[in-house]
Structure 1
Amino acid sequence: MRHVRPSPVFLAIVAVCAASGWYAWRDDGSTETAARTAVFLMVMSGWLVSLCLHEFAHAFAALRSGDEGVVGKGYLTLDPLKYSDPLLSFILPTVFVLLGGIPLSGGAVYLDRSAIRGRARNSVVSAVGPLTNAVIAIVLALLLGSGAVDGASPTFLAAFSFLIQLQVIAAVLNLLPVPGLDGYGVLEPWLPYGFRKAVAPYAPYAILFLFALLWSPSVNRVFYDVIDQITNALDVSPFLADQGYRLFRFWS
């Protein structure tokens, strides 16, 4: 834990989330443009915080399993600028959220897998990322259901519900056994070396193919039916989350 020092960049993102959330909480409906901008900032900054925590979880689990190189790389500072692949870690996931509310994150910190002790630990290192998103979704859902946000405006509740839904989607998607995602990373240590070597060059394209597949109306409908069942189980209204998504897209 002595290596964990949240960076000023991460703390600034948290501050933006808190400030925009405070504005959305107090929204009285008098200024729609300002309210929708606040929702956009609250959701995007909240999503970026979860991305930092997702990647931090990978790095921290790797450190505990033998990869001490993550300390020197700055992964334990939660600074998004320190991650080795900003394209996979932040740019693509942000674009996916903006275009379709589809949060794809995962596995873009560069770890020394050879230093991690055993196949089981390698699987755990991959699994902790999406499990972090699942834990965030559960914690936020508990806050929503406990009355902790009673008194907030409908605008805030919609944005908060959408943020929970994003965490659920991220957890489900990242656990799929698709090369380049954490679900495949869980299985990879147990697969034959020849298969892993053959698949590796196509991992980035597999993620893009998955994103394109989710644009198919039939696939999208089935996928979001599953997501709605999970959000319902968490006692989060899919309708309210959809309202949050509509507010989030302030440009539409």
Structure 2
Amino acid sequence: NWATIFSQVYYDKVEESIRLETAGIPVPKWISLREDEIPDLSGFSDFVVVKPAASACGAMVRIMRRNRVRWRDLGAEKMRCDNRSLIVQEYIHTGPWPTSYRVATVFGEPVYMFRAVADRTRRPFDTMLKGSLFFDGRTIVSSGKGCIMDEEVPDDVIQMGVHVHRAFPDEPFIAADIIREHETGKLFVLEANTSGWSFLNTAPIGEKLKREFRIDFVKQFNAPKAMARGIYSHLCGPCFCREEASING
């Protein structure tokens, strides 16, 4: 069992962001915020995304005016550890309905992917609106209730997911959440989901998503063989023996 041979280390969102930046992976501008700190967001746009550093499943994600951001206890029921820090990220507009991509890899070898688009029955974002009216009644989480998931994942997004594993070369499994800025087309990595709990190929939630959206996560990349290739590459040397492709062109 490959999971018994390698150990998976969990990093919170702040630790992930540091590692991603160090590896040259594009991430939204961000800062961490601890209790009793007053954040300096002078270099950010008017609206930012605030979330616990240790939350999961899109839990407790907030969009806020930058001048209103203060630390607060957002609750721990979905947190992975006792870390009470928040992470504040620049808001990246991904289109009329929030859209994100997931690319999961085993030692840099893709094993599953999907695109998530927020509930299209909700009002779309209207770029003609300004300030709080732009966000009024709209979700910024692409994978929430009513969303759609499909396999429309462009090649450059898949390649970005492969690059993400450079930041965590000794972690067996990474599930990178990636977005594309609507206006520029630039890719950003939101987080790497290093916990290992996002392995949809065998998890019950993977079966649920397969039934609901008709996505076979095992067949996409022939997951068993892809995992074997990733593990073999890792054991034989650097896990990125593939030819490097430039990020964002």
TM-score, normalised via structure 2 length: 0.24
Task: Report which of the two has the higher share of helix.
Answer: 1
